[in-house]
C-alpha cells in the first residue's frame, strides 16, 4: 500500500471506531442535537423582534447564522475527543501499532463530520418549523450545506491541534469558548453587518464565520434586500470561505500531526 492509501485506510479504521462510540454513548448525540435547537429557538423568539433584516423575516435570515455558529462550535468535539483519547489507554495501543502517524487525527476529524451532518439535519428541520425556507433550489442548498461541512472540517483541525496541547478535556471546552464566542458573535451570524459600529465592522466583514454564513445564506436565498457590505469577502463569500478552508488545513493539519508525534513520544 502506498503511504497515502495507508494513511487513509488507517484514518478510516479510527473513524469507524469513533462512530461506534456515537451509538454506544447516545447521550453525546443528544447534546450535539439539543444545543442547536435551543439556539434556533432562543434567537428566533428572544432577539427576533429586536433585529431588523429588510426584505426577509429575521427567523429565516437567522438560520444560516445558527448553522455557521453550530458548525464552529461542533469542532470543539474534535478537540475534546482527542484530548480524551490522549488520556486513555487506547492511545498506547495506537502508538505501538505500525499505523500512520496521522490516522488518529484523520479519523477523528472525519468522524466529527458525521456529528455535523446530524446536527445540520436537526437544525434544518427545526428551522423549517420556525419559518426558514430554501428559496434557491435544492442544488444550491446542498452546496450551502457542503460548504458549511467543509468549513467545519477545517475548524476541526484547529481544535485537533488545541486538543493535543491541553492537559485535560475540561480545559478544551473553556479554551474553545474563549475563541469561538467572539468569533461567532462578532460576525453576521446573528446581526446584519451594517448594524455593527465602525471599529467592529471590518472584523465582521473579514471574519471567516461571516463568510461561511453569508455564503450559505446566499445559497439558501435568505439574504433579503439589506444594503449588505461592499467588502470583497462579503461579495465573494464562497471563494473567501474556501480560501480560509485551504489555509487552515494547510497550516493546522501538519501542525497537529507534529504535535501528535511530540505528545505521544514523551
Partner 1 sequence: MSEPMIRATGLVKRYKEVEALAGLDLAVPEGKVLALLGPNGAGKTTAVRCLTTLLKPDAGTATVAGIDVLADPAAAKSKIGLSGQYAAVDEHLTAYENLVMIGRLYHLGRARARARAQELLERFDLTEFASRPTKTYSGGQRRRLDLAGALVAAPPVIVLDEPTTGLDPRSRQLMWDVIRELVGEGATLLLTTQYLEEADVLADDIVVIDHGREIAHGTADELKAQTGGQRIEVVLTSTVDAETASRILNEVAVGEVKVNGGGRELAAAVGEDAAGDLLRVLQGFERDAVKVLDVGLRRPTLDDVFLSLTGHDSTDESAEAQQ
Binding site for partner 1 (CB under 8 A): 1, 6, 9-10, 13, 16-17, 20-21, 24-25, 88-99, 103, 264-266
Return the number of other C-beta atoms located less than 10 Å from residue 246's C-beta.
12
For residues 168 and 84, give the distance between their C-alpha atoms in angstroms, rounded to a whole number.
Answer: 7
Min dist. Cβ of residue 87 to partner 1 (A): 11
Question: For residues 95 and 140, which CB has a smaller minimum distance to partner 1 in the complex?
Answer: 95
Dihedral, 197, 147, 16, 251 alpha carbons, nearest 10? -60
CB 133, CB 100: distance < 8 Å: no
Least Å distance, CB 108 to partner 1, is 13
Query: Toward partner 1, which CB reaches closer, 94 or 115?
Result: 94
Rg of the chain, C-alpha, whole Å: 19
Question: Helix (H) and strand (E) counts for the chain?
Answer: 11, 0
**Closer CB to partner 1, 78 or 229, in the complex:** 78
The distance of closest approach from Cβ of residue 261 to partner 1 in the complex, given in angstroms and rounded to an integer, is 11
Least spacing, CB of residue 105 vs partner 1, in Å: 14
User: How far is 71 from 49, CA to CA, in rounded Å?
Assistant: 25
Kindly tell me the burial class for residue 213, based on how many C-beta atoms sit within 10 Å of its own C-beta (0-12, 13-18, 19 or more): buried
Q: Which is nearer to partner 1, 174 or 265 (CB)?
A: 265
Smallest separation (angstroms) from partner 1 to the CB of 252: 24
Would you say 17 or 133 has its CB closer to partner 1? 17
Amino acid at each position: 500500500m502506498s503511504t497515502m492509501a495507508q494513511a487513509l485506510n488507517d484514518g478510516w479504521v479510527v473513524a469507524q471506531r469513533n462512530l461506534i462510540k456515537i451509538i454506544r454513548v447516545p447521550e453525546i448525540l443528544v447534546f450535539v442535537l439539543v444545543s442547536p435547537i435551543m439556539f434556533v429557538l432562543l434567537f428566533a423568539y428572544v432577539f427576533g423582534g429586536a433585529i431588523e433584516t429588510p426584505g426577509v423575516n429575521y427567523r429565516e435570515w437567522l438560520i444560516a447564522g445558527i448553522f455557521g455558529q453550530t458548525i464552529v462550535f461542533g469542532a470543539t468535539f474534535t478537540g475534546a475527543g482527542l484530548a480524551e483519547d490522549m488520556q486513555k489507554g487506547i492511545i498506547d495501543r495506537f502508538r505501538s501499532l505500525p499505523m500512520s502517524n496521522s490516522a488518529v487525527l484523520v479519523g477523528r476529524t472525519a468522524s466529527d463530520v458525521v456529528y455535523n451532518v446530524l446536527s445540520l439535519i436537526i437544525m434544518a428541520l427545526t428551522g423549517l418549523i420556525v419559518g426558514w425556507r430554501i428559496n434557491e433550489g435544492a442544488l444550491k442548498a446542498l452546496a450551502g450545506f457542503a460548504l458549511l461541512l467543509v468549513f467545519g472540517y477545517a475548524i476541526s483541525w484547529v481544535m485537533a491541534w488545541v486538543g493535543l496541547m491541553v492537559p485535560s478535556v475540561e480545559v478544551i471546552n473553556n479554551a474553545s469558548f474563549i475563541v469561538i464566542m467572539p468569533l461567532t458573535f462578532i460576525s453576521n451570524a446573528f446581526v446584519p453587518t451594517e448594524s455593527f459600529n465602525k471599529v467592529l465592522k471590518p472584523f465582521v466583514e473579514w471574519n471567516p464565520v461571516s463568510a461561511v454564513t453569508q455564503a450559505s445564506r446566499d445559497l439558501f436565498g435568505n439574504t433579503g434586500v439589506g444594503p449588505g457590505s461592499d467588502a470583497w469577502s462579503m461579495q465573494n463569500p464562497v471563494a473567501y470561505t474556501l480560501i480560509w478552508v485551504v489555509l487552515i488545513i494547510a497550516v493546522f493539519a501538519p501542525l497537529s500531526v507534529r504535535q501528535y508525534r511530540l505528545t505521544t513520544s514523551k
